[in-house]
Amino acid sequence: MLALVAGRGTLPNLVAQAAAPDVVVCALQDQSPYTLRVDLTFRLETLGSFLLQLGQRGVTEVCFCGAIDRPQLIPERLDDETKPLVPVLIDALGKGDDGALRAVISLFEKTGFNVRGAHELTPKVLLQAGTPTTRKQRPYHEDDAKLAWQTIAEMGRLDLGQACIVRKGKVLAREDESGTDSMLAANALAWVDHPGLWRDNTDELTVEAVAWCQRLRAENHHAPGAGSVLCKAPKPDQDRRADLPTIGSDTAVSAALAGCDGFVFQELSVIVLEDARVVALLDAMDMFLWVRAP
């Protein structure tokens, strides 16, 4: 039996489908996934009781996936089962994302659970090397990619982020705790509410969606990040069972608003949600998706 500790986004849905029917969907209070029915809700202050509940339900494996906001620990709400865990929780909350997740994973493992990565349960979300888009990277993007990898490695050693924007040998932006979309928005001339015309039951874009994407791209060719690449990568020595970098349809649109030429990352290192739909969007906006061999 798998316990899926789910946050926001579409990845929890994919994992739940892959693990069904032997899955218990769990969520932090007030941070439930968008569409999944939640079986167990817990607070940080009731984590100890939650671990007991998982054992009582026959859970042997746990998977963390989806976006959440870092919870606060409210001492007066601690239950008796969680009080012994307070030193571990305080230590975790004082670290960056990777450090905090390592502490939480260790806690679950010490309790007897096997922690699985989302990509282990849905391996198709990790892409092999290649450029599936119509537009291909140019030779000058290679130098920008190398600089991006060096930058993310430096950020990662400080546990500060997993993405950056690079153009012509210059780092334009680095991801912080606010996330990739926030970084991209800061490099866009304007932020628009996109209609989500590609969100139907197929991976095909409608004529209206293609026209909208092309207009979006044309209107943002003077954005501060015009001609840049967005690079995402795990942190050095990151525990890849949680918080692997992720892109999806929304990231593609955000990158277009920032003027990016495309995405670059190493194979089997970044989760791509609904990859056929992402590629269709990028093709409509004349952008590339470049998955590099190590």
Say what the pLDDT of residue 237 is.
82
In terms of domains, do 215 and 139 share one?
Answer: yes
Which residues span the domain enclosing 110?
2-121
Number of domains the chain contains: 2
Provide the H-helix boundaries in the chain.
Answer: 11-19, 47-56, 86-93, 97-110, 118-121, 139-157, 180-186, 207-219, 249-257, 275-284
Is the previous residue joined to 21 through a cis bond, with omega within 30 degrees of 0?
A: yes
CATH of the domain at 203: 3.40.140.80
User: Where is the domain boundary, 121, 149, 175?
Assistant: 121
Q: Which two structure tokens, joined as six digits, stand for 282?
A: 């990028």
pLDDT at 235: 87
Q: Given this model, what pLDDT does residue 101 score?
A: 83
Where is the domain boundary, 77, 96, 121?
121
> What's the confidence (pLDDT) of residue 61?
97
Assess whether 131 and 111 both reside in one domain. Answer: no
Six-digit token string for 172: 């334009």
* Contact yes or no for 224/255 (Cβ under 8 A): no
Contacts of 47 (CB under 8 A, 6+ apart): 82, 85, 89
**Do β-strands 114-116 and 23-28 pair in parallel, antiparallel, or remain unpaired?**
unpaired
Average pLDDT of adjacent 10-residue blocks, the chain of 294 residues: 93 93 94 90 94 96 91 91 91 79 90 95 95 95 94 90 94 91 84 54 73 85 90 89 90 91 95 92 94 91
- In this prediction, residue 26 carries a pLDDT of 96
Shared domain check, 25 and 59: yes
pLDDT of residue 191: 58
Claim to verify: residue 162 and residue 53 sit in the same structural domain: no
| Token reading at 170 | 């210059």
